[in-house]
Amino acid sequence: MVGTVGYGVNLGIFAALYAADFRYIGASVISYLVSNAVMYLGNRYFTFRLGHKGFWGAYLRYMLVGALVVALNAGILAGLVEGTGIDPRFGLAISLLIISPFAFVLFKRWSFQIRPAEA
């Protein structure tokens, strides 16, 4: 549920920024950072029910993983747009779907430090 909301936030903000003549890579970075913050709160309090303890340390780890993910996403997006000529809005939708499983595992295991036996 949290991922779906984050996906929608990301695509919505990207579409608005792209329509306002932001370059697609810059728009993807901004939209990802906003959706990343929304997903952090959703995952912390809804998905994993972790409460307030360790909020800032986990958020720092979450942002570090997010930086890696946003860079990989920008690379995939650029490859799709430049390599195939696909519209950046569709390219972002595809690149997020490609990167999401990898990102979720990193966020879960490192940012929130939840191991398979705990989940």
- pLDDT higher than 90, residue 85: yes
Main-chain dihedrals φ then ψ at residue 79, nearest 5 degrees: -60, -40
Mean pLDDT for the chain? Answer: 88
Do 18 and 29 touch, CB atoms closer than 8 A?
Answer: no
Q: What is the value of pTM for the model shown?
A: 0.82
| CB hemisphere CA count around 79 (13 angstroms) | 9
Between 104 and 22, the more confident residue is: 22
How does residue 48 score in pLDDT terms, banded at 50, 70 and 90?
Answer: confident
